[in-house]
């Protein structure tokens, strides 16, 4: 395990940037431990909804956590608007950093995360596998 603190700059897409950081290190598994910062636009899929909603304006990231895998990520966040109203859900592409996003990522080089359809839930759920360090790719 390795902790990786990150700062994403203005105009970065939160979800895409996190997936790119993990992939650029040749890894297949990471966990977001914490995240704070600000967004100018958020795309969040609420519980039970089929599609994300879009929020615009000055938004604060209150919490950010989740898993990043080889083929998909599963991220949740709560955000507050300029009036202090809080909303949370699944992070969709299109969450754009306003001033900064400060994130702590736990890199897991000996693990692989993927998502496969789970017939019990009807959703693509996390599949966790260890990586044999002696195996050739």
| pLDDT over 70 (residue 1) | yes
The 8-class DSSP code of residue 125 comes to E
Contacts 24+ apart (CB under 8 A), 19-28: 19/68, 19/73, 21/105, 22/68, 22/105, 22/107, 25/107, 27/107, 27/108, 27/109, 28/69, 28/70, 28/111, 28/112, 28/113, 28/114, 28/131
pLDDT at 9: 98
Per-residue pLDDT reduced to its tens digit, 18-28 = 999 999 999 99
Complete domains list, the chain, with CATH = 2-130 (3.30.1330.80)
The reported pTM is: 0.89
Per-residue pLDDT at 72: 85
pLDDT in tens, 41-75: 999 999 999 999 999 999 999 999 999 997 789 99
pLDDT at 137 (0 to 100):
52
As a whole number, mean pLDDT of residues 83-98 equals 97
- Would you say how long the chain is, in residues? 137
% of the chain residues with pLDDT over 90: 90
- Terminal Cα distance for the chain, rounded: 20
**Which pLDDT value is given to residue 132?**
75
Cβ atoms of residues 110 and 131 within 8 Å:
yes
Query: What is the rounded CA–CA span in Å between residue 84 and residue 64?
Result: 17
């Amino acid at each position: 395990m390795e902790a990786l603190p990150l700062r994403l700059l203005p105009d970065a897409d939160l979800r895409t940037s996190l997936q790119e950081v993990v992939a650029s290190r040749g890894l297949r598994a990471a966990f977001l431990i914490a995240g704070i910062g600000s967004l100018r636009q958020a795309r969040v899929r609420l519980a039970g909804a089929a599609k994300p909603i879009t929020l615009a304006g000055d938004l604060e990231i209150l919490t950010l956590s989740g898993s990043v895998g080889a083929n998909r990520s599963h991220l949740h966040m709560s955000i507050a608007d300029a009036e202090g109203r809080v909303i949370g859900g699944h992070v969709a592409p299109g969450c754009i950093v306003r001033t900064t996003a400060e994130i702590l990522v736990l890199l897991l080089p000996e693990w692989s995360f993927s998502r496969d359809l789970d017939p019990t839930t009807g959703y693509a759920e996390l599949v966790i596998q260890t990586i044999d360090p002696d195996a050739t790719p």
